[in-house]
Amino acid sequence: MRTIDLRSDTVTQPTEAMREAMLRAPVGDDVYGEDPTVNALQDRLAADLGFAAALFVPTGTQSNLLALMGHCERGDEYIVGADAHTYRFEGGGAAVLGSIQPQPIPQAADGTLPLDKVEAAIKPVDPHFARSKLLALENTWHGRALPFGYMAAARELATRRHLGLHLDGARLYNAATAYGRPARDVAAGFDSVSVCLSKGLGAPVGSVLLGSAELIERARRWRKVAGGGWRQAGMLAAAAMHALDHHVGRLADDHARASRLAEALGAIDGLTLQGCHTNMVFVDVPAARLKDLAKHTAAKGIRLSIGYLPSIRLVTHLDIDDEGIDRTIDAFKTFAY
Ligand SMILES: *Cc1c(COP(=O)(O)O)cnc(C)c1O
């Protein structure tokens, strides 16, 4: 029985064509800046997304960390969503490794940080306070594409109050797909953007940080300090390049499958649909039935993310086809809630 893994879009396997591209990639020592495939990936994404420079790194966590350390110094702070990845899910790296204080702000239901709350959190220039330096947003957030106009309002605030503006765009291309706009428009106005190639785009490894030449030089230095200076990384960059060539257009299929899944699950008595955004579906079951449901779906070869709030998250991706969606719907239908 084939396993249907809906835990995350990070679980994808490199396709045969992607593996071929990796095998053929010309490579060099990237610490010397001599890997042609890494350089081509960085140049391409910088040009595509409208930035002066880019840096290929192993993970989105490292990319965000390098951005925070590139924007902020010891004793500075960044303003961030209380449920944002860069605050909650990165091991406190900015504080641990960068001596940068987070100032979390509870997100509104649509994923935005209310800008009046952001502005109120900016500290006066006074030795009592950390220096407010950066506003960090996330798009998509829990699958939600932020309201498009919000980004311009955040840019206006950042400019007026002299904050840098960073975007954790781990799923930037999902947001672009949801808006029906080029990814460049989603990245517009930010001083730095982090993009993951290893989520729905299906590369095995890799994120890219984009920004000004100066910011990326600082990030490159911090990447080395963090042990992230890699050598013939072109094989991984080739996978990322292949993902950009072949897997961006198909994100719409993931979104359509998520919608179909959400519609079917929402019609089942005992299940409460909490939301469906881009490639993510969230459902709740009565807490007392959660364990049994997990056992039931596992026995049918379905893997889910269980135990966060809402209680079940299902994520569509490159390795989930229509039959996988059908089997998942069937598994949920055959459970007694
Ligand atoms: C996955 C993800 C990251 C980075 O994760 P890594 O596993 O370190 O690559 C950052 N932000 C968001 C929103 C993510 O979903």
Question: Look-up: residue for tokens 């055959």?
Answer: 334
For the domain made up of 250-333, give the CATH fold. Answer: Aspartate Aminotransferase, domain 1 (3.90.1150)
Distance in angstroms (rounded) separating the CA atoms of residues 312 and 302: 12
Q: Among 7, 8, 61, which residue has the most ligand 1 atoms within 8 Å of its CB, making it the best to mutate?
A: 61
Q: Is the CB of 25 under 6 A from ligand 1?
A: no
Protein residue with its CA nearest to atom 15 in ligand 1: 170
| C-alpha atoms less than 13 angstroms from C-alpha of 164 in its C-beta half-sphere | 22
Question: Look-up: residue for tokens 């053929």?
Answer: 24
pLDDT reported for residue 65: 98
Distance in angstroms (rounded) separating the CA atoms of residues 235 and 4: 28
CB contact set of 208 (below 8 Å; sequence gap of 6+) = 41, 42, 45, 54, 55, 56, 57, 63, 194, 195, 197, 240
Q: Is the CB of 166 under 6 A from ligand 1?
A: no
pLDDT reported for residue 309: 67
Query: What is the Cα 202 distance to its own chain's centre?
Result: 13
3-state secondary structure 197-265: CCCCCCCCCCEEEEECHHHHHHHHHHHHHCCCCCCCCHHHHHHHHHHHHHCCCCHHHHHHHHHHHHHHH
Distance in angstroms (rounded) separating the CA atoms of residues 22 and 146: 34
Long-range contact pairs involving 31-37 (C-beta distance under 8 Å, separation at least 24):
31/224, 31/229, 31/230, 31/231, 35/231, 35/232, 35/233, 35/234, 35/237, 36/234, 37/234, 37/235, 37/237, 37/238, 37/241
Q: Is the CB of 193 under 6 A from ligand 1?
A: no
CB atoms within 10 A of CB 118: 23
pLDDT reported for residue 287: 87
* Spans of all domains in the chain: 10-246, 250-333
56 C-alpha to center of ligand 1: Å?
A: 14
Q: Is the CB of 85 under 6 A from ligand 1?
A: yes
Residues of the chain with pLDDT under 70: 309-310
CB atoms within 10 A of CB 5: 20
Amino acid, single-letter form, for residue 44: R
pLDDT reported for residue 1: 84
Q: Does domain 10-246 have CATH number 3.40.50.450?
A: no
* This prediction's pTM: 0.97
